[in-house]
């Protein structure tokens, strides 16, 4: 696992550096916002680079970050047709692995979010999208889903609209 993390970190680090280099070709005055067109791609690239470096360092130090599911569930018991019970961490649905279904759910939620965003505005669309993403990640407690979605949406709104003075989409239906 350590070698895989070092290799993954190296590939991601190279990608982050490449994106940072590419963002240099974006005009800093082409955007209407105060930060310019280079700001967001460079911010994402820097976060990518820092995460890659952290992955490499933790791998070289022998620190393995354990994954898992929300709520501490590591596996569930599935009853086989023969009556035997087997443990699995990802039960396929109609032959599609659970990880693939989760990925398709994330992509679908973000596609719908992109379509709905200009219609109902940033905050309502974000709360709905983040709720779907949180549920897809495995959280089933309604209060945690709703509070998490509202908190993330408001935090991002504050960050982009207030701190960075960027325009966020407004509702066109209302």
Residue 164: the pLDDT is 77
Kindly report the pTM of this predicted structure.
0.56
What are the boundaries of each domain within the chain?
A: 2-60, 93-174
The yes-or-no verdict on residue 75 having pLDDT over 70 is no
- More confident site: 75 or 13: 13
Residue 158 CB contacts under 8 Å (≥ 6 apart), including other chains = none
pLDDT confidence bin for 88, thresholds 50/70/90: very low
13 with 52: CB under 8 angstroms?
Answer: yes
**Residue 81 DSSP code:** T
pLDDT in tens, 102-118: 889 999 999 999 999 99
Q: How far is 97 from 52, CA to CA, in rounded Å?
A: 27
Mean pLDDT, all residues of the chain = 80
Instruction: Please name every residue paired with 88 in a beta bridge, in sequence order, or none if there are none.
Output: 76
């Amino acid at each position: 696992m350590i070698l895989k993390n070092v290799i993954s970190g190296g590939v991601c680090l190279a990608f982050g550096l490449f994106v940072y280099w590419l963002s240099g070709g974006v005009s800093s005055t082409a955007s209407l916002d105060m930060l310019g067109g280079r700001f967001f791609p460079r911010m994402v690239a820097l976060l990518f680079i820092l995460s890659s470096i952290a992955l490499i360092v933790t791998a070289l130090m022998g620190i393995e970050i354990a994954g898992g599911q929300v709520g501490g569930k590591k596996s569930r018991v599935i009853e086989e047709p023969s009556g035997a019970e087997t443990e699995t961490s990802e039960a396929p649905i109609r032959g599609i692995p659970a990880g693939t279904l989760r990925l398709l759910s994330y992509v679908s939620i973000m596609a719908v979010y992109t379509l709905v965003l200009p219609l109902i505005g940033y905050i309502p669309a974000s709360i709905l999208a983040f709720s779907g993403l949180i549920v897809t990640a495995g959280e089933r407690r309604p209060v945690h889903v709703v509070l998490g979605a509202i908190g993330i949406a408001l935090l991002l709104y504050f960050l982009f609209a207030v701190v960075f003075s960027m325009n966020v989409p407004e509702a066109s239906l209302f």
